[in-house]
Structures are given as C-alpha cells and as structure tokens.
Amino acid sequence: MRPKASARGGNVLRRARWVAAGIVFCVATLGFLFPALWAEMPIRVLAAWQFAPSGLRGLQGFWLVAFHGAVLSAGAAGIALLVSFLALLLLSAFFGRWYCAFLCPLGFLQDVAAWAGRKRRGYVKSNPILRASALACFIALGVGGALGLASWLEPWSLAGRFFAYDVQPLARLLLRADSPLLPWGFIAASGLAAALIIGTAAFRGRWFCNSLCPAGSLLGLLNRKAPLRLRIDPGTCSSCGRCSSVCLADCLDGKNRFLDASRCVYCLECVGVCPTGSVRYGRGIREKRRGQDDRISTIDRKKKGQDDGISMIDRREKRQDDRITRINRVEKGQDRAMVTRAGFLGLIGTNLKIAGSAAIGIFLGVGGAAAARRIAGAQDSGDRTPPGAVSPPGSLSTHRFAETCTACGLCVARCPSKILRPSTGQFGLTALFAPRLDYDVSYCQFSCTTCLDLCPSGALVKLSPEEKQRTKIGDATLVRDLCIVIKNGTKCGACAEHCPTGAVRMVKGASGLPEPVFSTSICIGCGACHHACPVKPKKAITVSGLAVHEVAEKPSERLFDPPDPPGSPVPTHDSGLFPF
C-alpha cells in the first residue's frame, strides 16, 4: 500500500524531531564537555528549562512570592524563579508531553540507544506500581532533605553527572589536557547509573522515563488530560501494528488502536511509519465517548472491511482475536476506564495498589533521608564545618546548599578554575556529589560568577559580581610558625600576592623581611592564599568553609597606602626628567 501524503508528512515530522532533539543534545553535551570553547548562554538556557531543576527553583520562587511577595523586589525575584517551571507545566497541560522528546538530554541518549539496539519492539503493559512508588520516593527524599539521593532518579542530574564525571574526563584524556583527577567512585557511580539507563534503553526504549523518572511521571499525568495531544484516529487506523514496532516507549498497541497517553514521549516514530496517517496530534473529537465509540467504529469498519483488498478472513479472525484481548484488558480495568462492574472494581483495585506502592515509596524516601541524616548527624560537630566543606558563593549556607543542589555537575564541568569538585560527604551523605571548592586544585576567581549564573536548581542564588566579591564563604587561618619568611628567613609572600581583597598583606616584620598579616574581616575565603602557599607538606595558610556565609567588610581605601617612612624617595615623574 502506498503511503498517503499525510503519512509522508509524518516521516518528515519524525526526522525533524530527531534533528531538533539532536541539536538540543549537542548543546548539552558540548556545554558540558568543552566549557572553554562552547559559549555559556545556550547551556544556561537549556539548564534553566529542565523540568526537575526548574521545579526546585520554582518552589523557591513560590516561597518568595508567598511569604515575601509584599516586598516588591522579592516578589519579582520569586516570579523570575517560577517562570520556566510554570510555563513548562502549563504548556505540557495544554499541548502534551513534548518535553521528553525535545528537551531532555538523557531522553535523547536513550533514543539513540534504542535505535542502535534495534530491538523488536511491541506494546508492553505499563507498570503503574513501580512508577507511583518511584515518584513518591523521589518527592519524599526531596522533602526529607536528601535531594542528593533523590537526584539519582532525576534525568538532568543523571545526564549531567555522566557528562561531567565520565565523558568530560575521557575527552580531556584523549585531548591530553590537564585535569584534576576525580575519585574513581564518582566516575564509577555516575557511569554505572548512565550505563544502566542507556543499556536498558537498548532493549526496552524509554523504560526509565516511564517507570522511574519523576519528570516523566508528572508530565505523563498531565499528558493524559491534555486537550491537544498525540492520538490514534480509530476511524482511519487499519490496525496494522507498525506503530507498535517502532514506538520508543512501548506504549502503543496498534492492533488495538490504543495509545497509552501517560507513557507517550512524543518521539513521533509512530507518526513516521503510520501508513494511513492515523496517529495524529490534535483534539480527539472521536474519542469523546471513549471505549464504546472505539468499539462501535471497530465493528463498523469490520463491516466495511470488504473494501480493503486484503484477505478478509484473515483480518476478521485477527480482529476477533484483538477484540477478545481488548475486552479482557478492559475487564481487568488496567488501562482504560470502562463502566462495567468488573472494570470498576478492577479500577479500584489498581488505584489501591498504586496508592499502596506510593505509600511504600514515601516510606522508603523518608526512611532513606532520615537514615542519611542520622549518619551525617553523627559526624556533625556544631557550627564547625568538616574540612574541605566550602560551598560555592550564592549557596548562602552549607545546610541550604545540601538541601537544594541536585548535583547535576554543570558548575563542576564549567568552573574555569576546575575547583568545583563533587563532595565526598563533606556536606553530609544526603548531599553526595554536591560540589565543594577544592583549594588544593586552585582558587575561586575573584571576578568570576560562572557557577552562580549557571545553576538551574536555585541552589546558588544569583549574585552580582560586586555582591559575589563581598560574599564570605570561608575564612583563612595563618600559622606563622610554618611560614617560609619566619621559618627560613627568605622572602615569600605568595599568599599576599594572590589575595584579591588584601586580607593577607606583607608588612615589614622584626626580621626586616615582609611578613604576612591577616585581617579576617575582609577575607572572603576564596582560597587564593591557601592554593598559593608553597609550604609543604602542611600549608602555613589554609581556608576552611563557613557553615553560614557572611558579608565581608569593604577593604579600607588606605590599606596599601601606609604613611611613607621618613626619607624614602618619592618618585616624581612630572618634571620630564629621567630618574636615572
């Protein structure tokens, strides 16, 4: 049978989807892999429109509007945080679950795996129990303050960690670029998670998206009720089943003209292969009275079946088989709401099962969060942060940071100094992978706001460069007895050279040599002195993080302008003469 014009158009759509999703995927990967070469803006915008991070940011925005909305600036800031999440929700509620096909980099990665796997596909029943418990577990973990654990279900963070901790180091290795080594555990954990998902996709397509992914579950719910969405037109569908064999989500039962709207990811593969152009996007007028209408039309079409030039008997037999399975399914009440007694009871049963599994998910989530916190609490020693627990500027406090960072690794991948590194428990087990500043690698650049500008989840609030330069994230400790000037009696001053605020200065000491002097009030904890201090093995000046960030004082304008000692020559260059 020659495909209709609409079907050929479908194939164009299908290809366009691959191209568009591929471009978005490239923006994400290149943004993660080559921060020096690839501009910041595209990946920043893409990250800001990721579902789960934008949801987190949106919650913070909602909180600002609800509790501080009276203050105009806070209200405006809150709305700014809310915008992308609200837009995503509203657009999905009206136009369907396009997000998963176009904007999710992990989704595209799975599509590629599924395409490469070339498995024989077909309709697979949904698993609402697993789905409900995973979503409930995610929410419970997040609410319980263990976002670091929850983020192992979240696609942007999973993809980000894979790019940041596996693909980027590999690329740098191949390009022979220097990069600080990551602990192998991070490489293994993020790589394993991605490998499991991508490996599963090679056999089961978008299984992850429709079982574990919280964004997929929420968007699936919205898609079921979306007025405009992808549907099968039972009036024209010939039940050939080609769509089922290409569906990347295994959610299409072509023989029965059934499309599971809660699992459809809008990959448009079905649209591309449908010979009659029956998988269409739009309002489903024919489906208004679902089920019965479908069945009637099925019977109608069976009567009209003679028109088709295909062996009648075969098809009729097939259809009867189909009808039987269909009725069976309907009676089980698993997929569609049929107002039969058995179906009704079945529906209640299913809903109870889903509710039960959600409860188990919540229990697991809350329990997991509580356990992680208890273990973390055992290590906690009051106000003092553990060594190396320096959270990035804009995180406000290590506590808040641990509860809002999904550890997607975007700031880690793009930090120009490469000092942002996944934490290994410095912020508690609930926030594993949340980045910390590692001053052994380098120090935080004074004029740089890259991580603040990029953060999609709102874990790092936006600060102007001036605000960032006054944000005290840590404090230095100078041990004079270890200092080279004191110990060796030779000149040094590496700490003071690098200090961007003048908190460490060299002042002529008793030895006659310039010795370091430290003022904590103007120290911002950037780690420049810590990194530059050449003393081995234990540095003379070290920076430790503050549990709650502070605002540093402004350095005095006369900090480097001490009154000149009497008799010191003051250079004059007004006379036009040479001083030598």
Partner 1 sequence: MMTRREFLKGCAAVGASALMLSLPGRMGRLWAQGQQPPPSQAYPLPARWPDIVAVKGGGQASRLDRALREFGGMGAFVRKGQTVAIKPNIGWSQEPIVAANTNPELVKRLVEHCLDAGAAKVWVFDHSCDNGPRSYRDSKIEAYAKSAGAIVVPGDSSSLYQAVSIPGAVTLKKVKVHELALQADVFINVPVLKDHSGAGMTCAMKNLMGAVWDRGEFHRLGLDQCIADVCLWRKPTLNIVDAGKVMLSGGPRGYSSSRYAEPQMLILSRDIVAVDTVSAMTLGRVPSDFGYIAMAEKSNLGTTKIADLDIRRLGL
Residues lying near partner 1 in the complex (CB under 8 A) are found at 36, 176-178, 416-417, 442, 445-448, 484, 488, 490-494, 496-502, 505-506, 514, 532, 534-536, 555-562, 568-571, 573, 576, 578-580
One-character DSSP codes across 399-457? HHHHHH-----HHHHH-TT--EEE-SSTT-GGGTT-EEE-TTT----TT--HHHHH-SS
Nearer to partner 1, 36 or 378 (CB): 36
155-162 helix and 105-117 helix, angle to the nearest 10 degrees: 70
Min CB(426)–partner 1 separation in Å:
23
Min CB(573)–partner 1 separation in Å:
4
Nearer to partner 1, 227 or 534 (CB): 534
Q: Which amino acid is at 320?
A: Q
Q: 3-class DSSP state for residue 50?
A: coil
Nearby residues of 238 by Cβ (< 8 Å), 6 or more positions away: 275, 276, 278, 308
Is residue 293 within 8 Å of 286, Cβ to Cβ?
A: yes
Nearer to partner 1, 113 or 483 (CB): 483
User: What distance in Å separates the CA atoms of residue 344 and residue 13, rounded to the nearest whole number?
Assistant: 39
Is residue 69 within 8 Å of 77, Cβ to Cβ?
A: no
Query: How distant, in Å, are the alpha carbons of 151, 167, 445, 485 from that of 512?
Result: 56, 53, 32, 10
Of 32, 28, 69, which Cα lies nearest the Cα of 49? 28
Min CB(43)–partner 1 separation in Å:
17
Is residue 532 within 8 Å of 497, Cβ to Cβ?
A: yes
Q: Which H or E element spans position 336?
A: none
Min CB(520)–partner 1 separation in Å:
17
247: left (phi over 0), alpha (psi -120 to 50) or beta: beta
Min CB(491)–partner 1 separation in Å:
4
Min CB(525)–partner 1 separation in Å:
17
Nearer to partner 1, 402 or 532 (CB): 532
Nearer to partner 1, 131 or 531 (CB): 531
The pair of structure tokens assigned to 541 is 């000046």
Nearer to partner 1, 309 or 576 (CB): 576
Nearer to partner 1, 179 or 325 (CB): 179
User: What distance in Å separates the CA atoms of residue 208 and residue 229, rounded to the nearest whole number?
Assistant: 22
Q: Supply the DSSP symbol for 391.
A: P
Can the peptide bond before residue 537 be classed as cis, meaning omega within 30 degrees of 0? yes
Min CB(1)–partner 1 separation in Å:
59
Min CB(177)–partner 1 separation in Å:
7
Nearer to partner 1, 307 or 557 (CB): 557
Query: How distant, in Å, are the alpha carbons of 33, 106, 168, 414 from that of 176?
Result: 14, 27, 12, 18
Nearer to partner 1, 178 or 383 (CB): 178
User: What distance in Å separates the CA atoms of residue 445 and residue 468, rounded to the nearest whole number?
Assistant: 11
Is residue 212 within 8 Å of 130, Cβ to Cβ?
A: yes
The DSSP bridge partners found for residue 437 are 420
Min CB(545)–partner 1 separation in Å:
21
312-332 helix and 292-303 helix, angle to the nearest 10 degrees: 170
281 backbone dihedrals φ, ψ, rounded to 5°: -100, 130
Q: Which H or E element spans position 504?
A: strand 504-508
Min CB(580)–partner 1 separation in Å:
4
Nearer to partner 1, 327 or 559 (CB): 559
Min CB(445)–partner 1 separation in Å:
5
Q: Is residue 150 classed exposed, middle or buried when 0-12, 13-18 and 19+ CB atoms within 10 A define those classes?
A: buried
Nearer to partner 1, 311 or 490 (CB): 490
